[in-house]
Amino acid sequence: MKKIGIGAAGVAVCALSLIFTAGCAHMQKTAAVTTAPASTASATNVSEPVVRTSVMRAIPELKTVHFAYNSAALSAATRVVLRANAAWIKGHAEATVQVSGNCDQRGTEEYNLALGQRRAEAVRRYYVLLGVAPHRVATISYGKDKPLCDQMAPSCWRQNRRADTLLAEPAGVVGN
């Protein structure tokens, strides 16, 4: 049987390849973390508005939509409501909104935060598809932390699986 040796040059090439690959992977992770916008990353690749200092206010013109269990899919009925919301947002050029994704009490905190974010982003994508400027729609997930109903019953769970579109107003301007 013939022995095959890789020699010093082969070892050097392998070592450099490993160092380069590990270094690039580290750089990509660092870049992803440091370049993400302050608000939640957008599925539309356009940064969301920063609304941390704003006060969120529910208004009758912007309706809440509900979701099926374990889903972020927009039903036909949900799309009808979102079209009306989008028309209001587009008709108020000064308005910035925040879509908050919410879940029922079942599931882990991590799972529900991720599902709530998918719900908020699904609504945001639909608003953008309908012509709302992406820089006017922020998203946030509250997971299961802001239930409307706290009973352990299916009727209550349905109320909590929702996305609220709230008007974001600068602090100190609310109620004017």
Handedness of CA 132, 133, 136, 138 (dihedral sign): positive
Q: How far is CA 72 from CA 66, 78, 117, 175, in A?
A: 9, 11, 9, 32
Q: Has domain 54-170 been given CATH number 1.10.3210.10? A: no
pTM here? 0.71
The two most distant CA atoms of the chain are separated, in Å, by 88
According to the model, what pLDDT value does residue 172 have?
66
Distance CA 53, CA 76 (A): 34
Give the tokens for residue 153.
């019953």
Q: Would you place residue 7 in the very low, low, confident or very high pLDDT band (cuts 50, 70, 90)?
A: low
- Domains of the chain by residue range: 1-35, 54-170
> What average pLDDT score do residues 9-31 get?
40
pLDDT band at 43 (very low <50, low <70, confident <90, very high): very low
Q: Per-residue pLDDT tens for 116-157?
A: 999 999 999 999 999 999 999 999 999 999 999 999 898 899
- The answer on pLDDT for 55 being more than 90 is yes
The two tokens of residue 75 are 């039903």
Amino acid at position 5, single letter: G
